[in-house]
Structure 1
Amino acid sequence: MNIQRIQYLASMTLIPLIAVVSFAVPLSSALALVLGLVIAVTVGNPYIAKTRKLTSNLLSIAVIGLGAGMDLNVVGRVGAQGVGYTVLGISLTLIVGYILGKILKTERDTSILISAGTAICGGSAIAAVSSSIKAKPHEISVSLGVVFLLNALALIVFPFVGHHFNLTEGQFGLWSALAIHDTSSVVGSTLQYGPHALEVGTTVKLARALWIVPVTLFFGYLTSRKQESSAGKTKFPWFILGFLLAAALVTWIPQLQEPGKFVNDLAKRLLVVTLFLIGANLTRDTLRSVGVRPLIQGVLLWIIVGSITLGAILWGWITLA
């Protein structure tokens, strides 16, 4: 009983304390995420409902703040250049995910959610598509668990692989945006690699996230559930518009560029806090909820997508002018 009491008190104290430290003291995004994971697995997260909600809100605020450090001309150019391979990449990922789901005999809706999360933007896509196909709670939980695990792994693996292949910052930002699930992990990974990698990765990922709407509508139509329109239920990531607005303000109003740099720095610190909370959300119950088949499907799909996009970038098939 005493040990349990100590663990409870430790978890009550450690999570808010390290969240504050993560904002105040420069920590790497990978270290922040690992700290959150260690706390969640060892002493638990008594704030799990609050931190899950807070994670989404903080991510939105952080991404909007990152827009204050971007040039809208670059954002527009990168987004326009990426339309072709975005459509092709999303389509191929969904097809390969479907095939893997069939081979592994993963539950249909779980397979769809994992594929959509891999193809577009992780948890946001899963949340949107799940409402369209009316997925069951355990299917959503399992899909999110797979994505969270791979997001955590990406923060450690991607910078290592990028340096191994001597990717430029632009190449690494592009690869991260195409092969990492969630926006938070794309930003966290590219933040470690360099400022230009962060700029490219964020703009490409946010442009890709816009495809949540057509993909959600597609699955809603495909499932043909009672002919109810799921468009009104689509959880569109409105922070994308905030990002674009912040970028537009600092681009077109020169006087805002210096304050924009300050806001951008705060946003990067807030992102580190967000990644710590993402790690803290990976409790033992969440890890246990991830079944073997969905996990295998998610890992295989992630490796296939990551390998193909990396090869295409190295061979010059996918580039940003």
Structure 2
Amino acid sequence: MKKIIPGLLLTLGIAYISRFLSNLFPVHVIGAGVIALFMGMILNPWVSQREGLYPGITFTGKKVLRFAIILMGISLSFHQVLKVGSFSLIVMVFTLFAAFFGGYLLGKLLGLDWKLSGLISSGTGICGGSAIAAVAPVIGAKDQFIAYAISATFIFDVFMVVLFPLMGEAMNLSDLGFGLWTGTAINDTSSVVAAGYSYSEAAGDFAVIVKLTRTLAIIPVVLIFSMIAKKHSTGKTSPHILEIFPWFILGFLAMVGLNSTGWIPASLSGSLSTLGRFFMIMALGAIGLRTNFKELSRSGIKPLIHGISISTLVVVVSLVVQYFLGSL
């Protein structure tokens, strides 16, 4: 514990400062997790000269990260899937397919490492930094890959928070159509909230429900990536489930199940969800502290092209599917 405390306190401080800075922005356009990641990267040269901080930073980036993912489940429920309805589930199937299949093909075309390509697709298809953080440990992704994937999705979200309401007005979208479009096409939850409620109260409510339901895709995606990672490391075409199962996802699923029963008071659920989000900010700060900006820059512009291209594809697919379903 003595070895862990210094680095743990550093990530705790970064998380508090990041949350404070995030609150300075109108409707949290920039999430605290992204600020913590960048702050950690800025401090990396200083941290790299102080080995005593590394045990706590590593603990936060691995153990606290998994605990944060588990607590994320308390804000979700299977009832949300029923609330959202058939339209949104159909749209989500198509956007997830576009993110992962399109991301795979574009990653091959650009010559990207499959782990980096997979992280960008996960962030784009599911829920930004949270999905990237959930997939990263099961595929053994480098901290540089995590940082680049989050950066790529973040840059796209910043533009979409401004452009989505303008495009929605130009296309005269209904509150339902805009909420569904925003909830399935924008990555980070804070960005979905910012774009959705700037259009209308009803559109914001619907966008948040769709976005939270989309987060449940973390479960099958993490399992699939576990199998892919094991195949790459061992060459086995069908590894044993016990070899590849990410056990922390059971905790996530258990939390979703508990919240679905309705037995957990809303106040407790809200507190645990807030705690989980704070732990995630700490973990992203730790990842930033272990990320060398010079090494990150060597990846060049290709990952950024990948992220923006796949995010744009998801935006278009979501709109086209809704058009054919008649939900706009």
**Which TM-score applies when normalising by structure 2?**
0.65
Correspondence 1:80-119 to 2 at 5 A: 82-108=88-114, 110-115=116-121, 118-119=124-125
Q: Please state whether the residue corresponding to 2:312 is helix, strand or coil.
A: helix
Q: What residue number does 1:179 align with?
A: 185
CA offset digits 1:145-196 (Å, max 9, x no partner): 2322134335534432332224666555544553355xxx33x333444444
Specify every segment of 5 or more residues in structure 1 that has no aligned partner in the other structure, as ranges: 1-7, 131-136, 251-255
Q: Please state whether the residue corresponding to 2:262 is helix, strand or coil.
A: helix
Cα separation, 1, equivalents of 2:66 and 2:281: 13
CA offset digits 1:272-311 (Å, max 9, x no partner): 5346436523348354444123343233222322333245
Q: What residue number does 1:209 align with?
A: 218
Taking a change above 3 Å as real, the CA distance of residues 154 and 143 of structure 1, as seen in their structure-2 partners, is same
CA contact (8 A) 1:11 1:39 kept: no
Q: How many residues were matched structurally?
A: 286
Cα separation, 1, equivalents of 2:58 and 2:306: 27
Q: Is 1:296 equivalent to 2:298 in the alignment?
A: no
Correspondence 1:49-60 to 2 at 5 A: 49-53=58-62, 54-60=64-70
Q: 2:246 aligns with which of 235, 257, 269?
A: 235
Deviation at 1:83, TM superposition (A): 4.8
> Is 53-62 or 212-221 further displaced after alignment?
212-221
Deviation at 1:88, TM superposition (A): 3.6
Deviation at 1:229, TM superposition (A): 1.0
**Which TM-score applies when normalising by structure 1?**
0.66
CA contact (8 A) 2:65 2:133 kept: no
Cα separation, 2, equivalents of 1:24 and 1:93: 30
Q: Please state whether the residue corresponding to 2:213 is helix, strand or coil.
A: helix
> Is 74-83 or 101-110 further displaced after alignment?
74-83
| AA matched with 2:30 | A
Q: 2:278 aligns with which of 273, 293, 304?
A: 273
Cα separation, 2, equivalents of 1:265 and 1:203: 17
Cα separation, 1, equivalents of 2:137 and 2:230: 17
Deviation at 1:110, TM superposition (A): 4.1
| AA matched with 1:189 | S
Q: Please state whether the residue corresponding to 1:106 is helix, strand or coil.
A: coil
Cα separation, 1, equivalents of 2:219 and 2:15: 33
Q: What residue number does 2:57 align with?
A: 48
Q: Is 1:28 equivalent to 2:28 in the alignment?
A: yes
